[in-house]
Structure 1
Amino acid sequence: MVKTKDSVLTGYQNHKAVQQELLKSLKSKLNTISFSRLGLFVIEIILIALIINFGFSLLFGVLLFLPLIFFMYLVKKQMDTQHLLSYHTNLLWVFENEINVIEGKTNGYANGDSYDNEAHHYASDLDIYGSGSLYALINRCNTHSGLALLADNLGRPAEMGTILARQEAIQEVVQEIESTFTFRAELQGHKPTQIDVIIHKLQNQLPEQLQFTRHRFIRFYTAVVPLLSIGTFILAAIYGGKVWNILSVVLMFNFIFTLSQLKKINAVYLGFSGSSGLLNAFSSAVKWTERKDWKSKYIIDFFSNDADKGVVSGQIKRLSGIINAFDARLNMIVGGFLNLFFLWDLRCAIRLDQWYAASATELVHGLYRISQFEVLISFATLSHNEPEWVFPELSSTFKLHVVDLGHPLIAEARRVVNSYDFNAQPTADIITGSNMAGKSTFLRTVGINMVLAFAGSVVCAREMQTSIFNLLSYMRIKDSLNDQTSTFKAELNRLKMILDSIDRYPDALVLIDEMLRGTNSKDKFLGSRVFIERLIDRHTPALFATHDLQLSEMTEQYPVAVRNYHFDIQLAEGEMKFDYKLKDGPCRTFNAALLLKEIGLTLN
């Protein structure tokens, strides 16, 4: 069966229905556990009341202890069920989000607005970051390093070898797209900065904070205290009398001993609080990356620093278990009991020190690997959701050939595609045309698809062959009151950036949309002409959109180095119609007079 966008959408909708049924079942199970816990709590209160009324006996001691054991079992059961509920809620969100994206609604992942920079060579002009951007369309990352890595991939062209390797890796991940939803659900709902806090703690704070746990007495007493406490309790239950006093002394000593180390314990615990779920999710995500038999070299290189593939997920899982046990202190009843009988906080701190000595070194790299996979999954999801888009062919010689190239941020129903080619040698292609006819959109269409191509992604085209270019754009020029910069000065600054860059980058491609808008028409024409001549002199290819028809006459002086294209309008009974199709030659039909007439101004 040939995959289409409609079949992809249907697949997501089916997944959504399955998750909704699972969530109903889990919520019912969670309610049952909650009522059972409440029942055990009531039983415990009744037993305490009976002891107060009738005095303590061995039978009451056993009966008092059993509900507590079952209560702790139900706490564990509830935590497991809550984890499943959270996971399937996240998985439902993943499928609903993909449905929204395909239907043209907002992607729920970060839009990358923090990476936008007007000084960037092309990012602001081509809508790479921010609301409604390419980043907002592609992003499926939840970690801070994943978000930054994706931004970097879209912010500069990779080398040809890297691009080809990414293409191969993305295609491999597309084959595993169903399992990537599990990977994403595990990470969904966690703040990107949470894992950074943990990494900082592991690298910079924990070694010193754990030093107190290596004291011989602390290690010895923490090891024997369970036997001492439980043994004394059993003897007290059997023999009663003064043995209960001995148990009281043991428990009081445990309380004082824990209190004496509380400040150091709290320092160790700070930063880990409540992170068990996050670490468990990361463990599952890393395990997914480890259990696949990856074939592409790009992915295999992610594991180059691991002594044994598969070890990192186990290390994170153990850390998650330690933090989960540590979190028992958050429940006053359970934490109080565990510390009195087992010195629970100290025991967890010692386990953390043992884990750190054996496992911390590889952990950071394993966590970064998650970010690397997040980026690949982002591009793979785009490829899966857009089955008609293609991976471009890369050329080592100067080339651009596109067939049915469209803008990826324009809805498919409204998208108009164009075909276009470079000559064998660089040219300055001057594109004239009416207002709103499609000149600016075409420039952005070429540029944004190149950004996709140079990141290793699929492109919005039926066919694309291209060499690798350093894109330089001049489109949305803004003045700045804060910097005391007029529009004309801002234009000059942008032109200087382009001129400096074409001297540094022999593979530059310049995209210009209506140059020198901040000055008079004569200087605008002369400045545009001399700028195009500089590009010709440097053999730098350019797409130059303009309303100035005089520039199209440059083909008379430069018949090989300058080409003319245009977008026009069709007039039918006084109505304007746009087909947004690129055509050869300069434009002959303009619409300014018609537009002015609509607001009450008539040109003679």
Structure 2
Amino acid sequence: MLKQQAEIIADYDKKNKQVSADIAQTKKIIDQLSLVRIGLFLAEILFFVLLLQSADDDLRTLIQLALLAPIIAFAFVVRRQSKLDREIDYKKQLLWVYQNEWNVLNGAANGYDHGQAFESELHPYTSDLDIFGSASLFALINRCSTKSGNNLLAKNFAEKSARDQILLRQEAISEIREKIAETYSFRANLHGYDPNKIEQIKVQLKHQLGAQLEFVKSSFLRFYVKLVPYISIGLILAALLVSAAFWKILAFLFVIHTGWNVLLGSKINKVFYTFGGSSNLLNGYASAILWTENQSWKSSYTLSLLDSKIPVSKEIKSLSKIIQNFDARLNLLVGGVLNALLLWDLKCCISLDIWYKSSSKDVISALDHLGDFEELISLATTAYNQPDWVFPVITDQFALATTHIGHPLINEQVRVDNDFHLEGKPTVDIVTGSNMAGKSTFLRTLGINMILAYTGAPVCAKTMQLSVFSINTYMRIKDSLNESTSTFKAELNRLKMILDNVVKDKDTFVLIDEMLRGTNSRDKYLGSKVFIQKLITEKTPALFATHDLQLADLIIDHPETVRNFHFDIQITEGEMKFDYLLKHGPCKTFNAAILLKEIGLTLD
């Protein structure tokens, strides 16, 4: 495994260096073009000086024609330079994507969102199993730049899935893992943009734009806007070739057009403000959608995400071009001239209305589905980066069996893997052991891998077979000053939630770490005993970690439904050593006496 992952890391490093070299080379070309632009500007000045000094003859005519050459060449160079600037922007994002994968595999933090917004102590398991937030499963897995992608990944981590859906997702994630080299460009095209901007555009397309464009539906307005370029050009030619009086007519027309534009300004602004400046963003999203359209998908889950019969990427490119034209109004001088001559803003609004009627529904759907692809790619990227992880077998029969299962958030160099399996029927498994011996970590290891399994992703294990459970946990119970809730009251609230869920959903699986810490030892034992008996009555499988050895004796009264496991310590010359391996039976060795002795207290 180490050799495989070492090769993956080396490949990311190679890609980093290659893209960095490409960026440096492109920058060099841009610098050269900048010098060419300066040269063309100086050439234009030279021709202009020559024009002023020339006589009224053929040479003067030749110089006048020559004045056009630097302008044409300058426009070509600017266009070429703009294209290279866009290439650099894309390559910088691609470099970020590769560097981020290298960082994650070398133990650094993932640069994507960690999912703090989804944290909730009231959820049945996400807080206890470190699903969201810093150093969480979400922080390890997430590769989503869009809000919809982040929300979907969070939803699949937090909600129960049906077996059929899990199997379909496994197929889709496996397929994308085989195309992983092609997914980096998809991610680069989406990264680096404000996710709120595309959400605003989606809201406007879904709910607002149609009504906002009502003012351009007049047949007269559309006819006149289409006609006005010919009127303006005709008046200019007439003024040059026939009579200077036509300049006055053109000036009057300028005033009329400018006034018309001012009167409709508030309506035009409503249309523009959401879209304005988003041309590059839309081009990036169009490129990402084009990638999804160009793949030869086979999995039915992925194919269901491509529900448009037209190439949506082209439609978004068309929208981007309209917005790029619309952005001319941001330059007051250029926008003013274009509106006076051509009613430019109205022309763009009409183009937007035509586009909206023909393409908006497909585009909205495709933009929404980008999040679906991001979420699948997140899980597929982890599957690729962790070649020793396996896709679990999801069965419709009661089961949970795994070998060499480890915690995905613990570095493999220090991680200890364990084997575990349930019997053919539900049992309550009591896990005893010393502090720091590994009880809590094992419960979280089992739970977090089950969550991974239910998303369709591979798990951190050699083998795993399980049915679909509703996971409920009781681990990190806190008091709340804001809600005037003591630890004991918070524990009771959690127990009630679990009991309610156990009654409602017979496929519940419970993980409990040291129940009722906030009360005395007698009530703690009795409460734990009654709770375990309730789980047995409801036939609910559970792992129950505790320091209370008396609970291990429940196996006497319930030999068929209670099992004992433990994590122990080895004491060598007064020093404790932990192997973190799960063993059968109750624990016999505890470390409290040793720890107390180290601070000067001795137990008889």
Give the alignment's TM-score, normalised by structure 1.
0.93
* Structure 2 residue 184 is the aligned partner of structure 1 residue 181: yes
Could you tell me how far apart the structure 2 residues matched to 1:191 and 1:159 are?
A: 34
Q: 1:62 Cα shift?
A: 6.8
Report the residue type matching 2:90 in the other structure.
Answer: Y
| 1:184-333 alignment, distance < 5 Å | 184-233=187-236, 254-304=257-307, 306=308, 308=309, 310-333=310-333
Give the match for residue 581 of structure 1. Answer: 581
Could you tell me how far apart the structure 2 residues matched to 1:41 and 1:216 are?
A: 46
Could you tell me how far apart the structure 2 residues matched to 1:26 and 1:327 are?
A: 27
Deviations 1:360-401 (A, max 9, x none): 122211111111111110110010000100000011111111
Q: 1:147 Cα shift?
A: 0.8
Q: 1:414 Cα shift?
A: 1.1
Change (3 A) 1:342 1:61: farther
Q: 1:266 Cα shift?
A: 2.0
| 1:324-363 alignment, distance < 5 Å | 324-363=324-363
Q: 1:348 Cα shift?
A: 1.5
Q: 1:440 Cα shift?
A: 0.1
Deviations 1:256-300 (A, max 9, x none): 444444333222211111111111111111111112121111111
Q: 1:468 Cα shift?
A: 0.9
* Structure 2 residue 99 is the aligned partner of structure 1 residue 84: no
Structure 2 runs not aligned, ≥5 long: none
Give the match for residue 145 of structure 1. Answer: 148
Could you tell me how far apart the structure 2 residues matched to 1:225 and 1:545 are?
A: 80
Q: 1:358 Cα shift?
A: 1.1
Report the residue type matching 1:148 in the other structure.
Answer: N
Change (3 A) 1:580 1:390: same
Contact 1:567 1:581 in 2 (8 A): yes
Report the residue type matching 1:316 in the other structure.
Answer: I
* Structure 2 residue 120 is the aligned partner of structure 1 residue 110: no
CA RMSD of aligned residues (A): 2.8
Could you tell me how far apart the structure 2 residues matched to 1:245 and 1:291 are?
A: 55
Could you tell me how far apart the structure 2 residues matched to 1:61 and 1:158 are?
A: 74
| 1:507-526 alignment, distance < 5 Å | 507-526=507-526
Secondary structure of the residue that 2:512 maps to in structure 1? Answer: strand
Deviations 1:540-595 (A, max 9, x none): 11100000011111111111111111101111111111110001111111111111
Could you tell me how far apart the structure 2 residues matched to 1:207 and 1:45 are?
A: 50
Q: 1:220 Cα shift?
A: 2.8
Deviations 1:159-197 (A, max 9, x none): 000000000000011111111101000000112221110
Could you tell me how far apart the structure 1 residues matched to 2:592 and 2:31 are?
A: 68
Secondary structure of the residue that 1:271 maps to in structure 2? Answer: helix
* Structure 2 residue 166 is the aligned partner of structure 1 residue 163: yes
Give the match for residue 493 of structure 1. Answer: 493
Could you tell me how far apart the structure 1 residues matched to 2:439 and 2:191 are?
A: 40
| 1:522-601 alignment, distance < 5 Å | 522-601=522-601
| 1:369-448 alignment, distance < 5 Å | 369-448=369-448
Secondary structure of the residue that 1:483 maps to in structure 2? Answer: coil
Could you tell me how far apart the structure 1 residues matched to 2:398 and 2:362 are?
A: 43
Q: 1:15 Cα shift?
A: 1.0
Secondary structure of the residue that 1:593 maps to in structure 2? Answer: helix
Give the match for residue 453 of structure 2. Answer: 453
* Structure 2 residue 78 is the aligned partner of structure 1 residue 100: no
Change (3 A) 1:75 1:209: farther
Q: 1:227 Cα shift?
A: 3.3
Deviations 1:26-54 (A, max 9, x none): 22233344455566667778899999999
Could you tell me how far apart the structure 1 residues matched to 2:130 and 2:407 are?
A: 11
Secondary structure of the residue that 1:270 maps to in structure 2? Answer: helix
Give the match for residue 138 of structure 2. Answer: 135
Could you tell me how far apart the structure 2 residues matched to 1:50 and 1:242 are?
A: 33
Report the residue type matching 2:512 in the other structure.
Answer: I
Contact 1:3 1:387 in 2 (8 A): no
Change (3 A) 1:95 1:240: farther
Structure 1 runs not aligned, ≥5 long: none
Report the residue type matching 1:351 in the other structure.
Answer: S
Report the count of equivalent residues: 601
Contact 1:58 1:237 in 2 (8 A): no
| 1:65-84 alignment, distance < 5 Å | 72-84=75-87
